[in-house]
């Protein structure tokens, strides 16, 4: 497909098909049928101080403890019926141990094994699961370097949607998405499309460089995003609230607790996804997004939205600057032995450098260099 970003093009560009250029070093497409993924389901993260992390996620963010022991805490959101959405595990290095997806059927675990075995990836399977509450599971080191888990069997717990006596003003009601940092976004997108993911939005420039892509299985903007940068790393994990005022309540609570320094970015509204957002950092620096009110994407002909990397409203609809740490900082990921994966450098242009760096720029109105035009070093 021809590059959708042009000097006279609209802001943003809407197309009927995936506009991301095909990668030159594409990961082979297996002949095996991919597993049928329903949604992102939970993330397992390693924390260096379990007590401090438990306090942050439970007492500050009000996630619900399903169960815990001296080494691990299992947390869920208010509307979840499966055992957990987030696992905190004590360990020596803060990192991500698993990005976990729920599958449609038990048979899809066999498909996951065949799919990744054909790719030559490391594949392990445990009938008893890797964590409490989850049964037969497959974990792989995928071709992008990420530790991915697939499961179907899961312990059901009480869905707290009607337990309004437990709700707090900033209640987190569901896990919404992951965000993964990878050096080569088109290569990552092509692999995820082989898994059945679909692109909903992306960021490109006039030269055709792709900076990020949002991909979904459930009918929202994304279950995961591929963000260009040094990787494999985890950019953030996102939990949804019902409404915007819930996010404001979290900000007020953080201020009242004299914890405003954990707010990295926001609150604000994204251009990409149209969602209201807040980014915060946990005691180990893991980034959490609080997110609400994106849009439905479930139709098979759902259009794809492509943003110009220089559009000042792509990352924040109100044009607020993106702090450099949001581009540079991310969490390590672990291999299946629990060792940190090596981080590879991105060789394509950096979104930070082309928009915020000394030679970067952004615009509010394309072609208007008199007003609404920002040089990167004068943000």
Q: pTM to 2 decimals?
A: 0.96
**pLDDT tens for each residue of the chain, 379 residues long:** 568 888 888 889 999 988 998 898 999 999 999 999 999 999 999 999 999 999 999 999 999 999 999 999 999 999 999 999 999 999 999 999 999 999 999 999 999 999 999 999 999 999 999 999 999 999 999 999 999 999 999 999 999 999 999 999 999 999 999 999 999 999 999 999 999 999 999 999 999 999 999 999 999 999 999 999 999 999 999 999 999 999 999 999 999 999 999 999 999 999 999 999 999 999 999 999 999 999 999 999 999 999 999 999 999 999 998 999 999 999 999 999 999 999 999 999 999 999 987 778 888 888 777 766 676 654 4
| Separation of alpha carbons 158 and 143, rounded Å | 36
| Domain assignments of the chain as residue spans, ordered by start | 13-29+170-348, 37-151
Q: What does the pLDDT read at residue 336?
A: 98
Cβ contact 280:288 at 8 Å = yes
Distance set, CA 217 to CA 103, 226, 296, 329 (Å): 11, 14, 12, 27
pLDDT at 366: 84
pLDDT reported for residue 358? 78
Q: For the domain bounded by 13-29+170-348, which CATH number is listed?
A: 3.10.180.10
Confidence at residue 155, expressed as pLDDT on a 0 to 100 scale? 98
User: Distance of CA 90 to CAs 51, 98, 216, 276, Å?
Assistant: 9, 14, 31, 32
CA 280 to chain centre: 14
**CATH topology agreement for domains 13-29+170-348 and 37-151:** yes
Q: CB of 98 within 8 A of CB of 43?
A: yes
Q: Domain 37-151, what architecture?
A: Roll (3.10)
201 in Cβ contact with 214 (< 8 Å) = yes
Indicate the pairing of strand 361-363 with strand 373-375: antiparallel
Could you give the dihedral angle defined by the CA atoms of residues 31, 123, 333 and 287, in that order, rounded to the nearest 10 degrees? 70
């Amino acid at each position: 497909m021809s590059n959708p970003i042009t000097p006279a093009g609209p802001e943003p560009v809407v197309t009927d098909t995936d506009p991301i250029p095909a990668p030159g070093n594409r990961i082979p497409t297996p002949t095996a049928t991919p597993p049928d993924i329903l949604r992102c389901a939970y993330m397992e993260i390693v924390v260096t101080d379990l007590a401090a992390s438990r306090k942050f996620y439970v007492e500050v963010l009000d996630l619900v403890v399903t169960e815990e022991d001296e080494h691990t805490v299992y947390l869920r959101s208010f509307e979840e019926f499966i055992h957990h959405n987030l696992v905190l595990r004590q360990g020596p290095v803060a990192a991500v141990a698993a990005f976990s997806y729920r599958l449609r059927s038990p048979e899809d675990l066999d498909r996951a094994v065949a799919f990744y075995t054909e790719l030559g990836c490391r594949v392990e399977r445990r009938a008893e699961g890797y964590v409490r509450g989850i049964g037969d599971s497959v974990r792989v080191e995928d071709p992008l370097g990420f530790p991915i888990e697939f499961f179907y069997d899961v312990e059901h717990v009480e869905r707290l949607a009607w337990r309004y006596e437990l709700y707090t003003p900033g209640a987190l009601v569901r896990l919404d998405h992951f965000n993964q940092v990878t050096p080569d976004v088109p290569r990552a997108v092509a692999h995820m499309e082989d898994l059945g993911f679909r692109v909903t939005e992306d960021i490109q420039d006039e030269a055709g460089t792709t900076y990020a892509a949002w991909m979904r299985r459930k009918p929202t903007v994304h279950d995961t995003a591929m963000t260009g940068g040094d990787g494999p790393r985890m950019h953030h994990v996102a939990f949804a609230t019902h409404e915007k005022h819930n996010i404001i309540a979290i900000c007020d609570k953080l201020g009242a607790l004299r914890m405003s320094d954990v707010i990295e970015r926001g609150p604000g509204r994204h251009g990409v996804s149209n969602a209201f957002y807040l980014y915060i950092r946990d005691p180990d620096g893991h980034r959490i997004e609080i997110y609400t009110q994106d849009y439905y994407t479930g139709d098979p002909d759902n259009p794809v939205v492509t943003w110009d990397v220089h559009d000042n409203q792509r990352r924040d609809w109100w044009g607020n600057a993106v702090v450099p740490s949001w581009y540079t900082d991310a969490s390590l990921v672990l291999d299946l032995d629990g060792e940190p994966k090596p981080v590879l450098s991105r060789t394509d242009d950096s979104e930070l450098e082309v928009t915020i760096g000394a030679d970067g720029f952004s615009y509010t109105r394309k072609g208007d260099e008199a007003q609404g035009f920002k040089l990167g070093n004068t943000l």
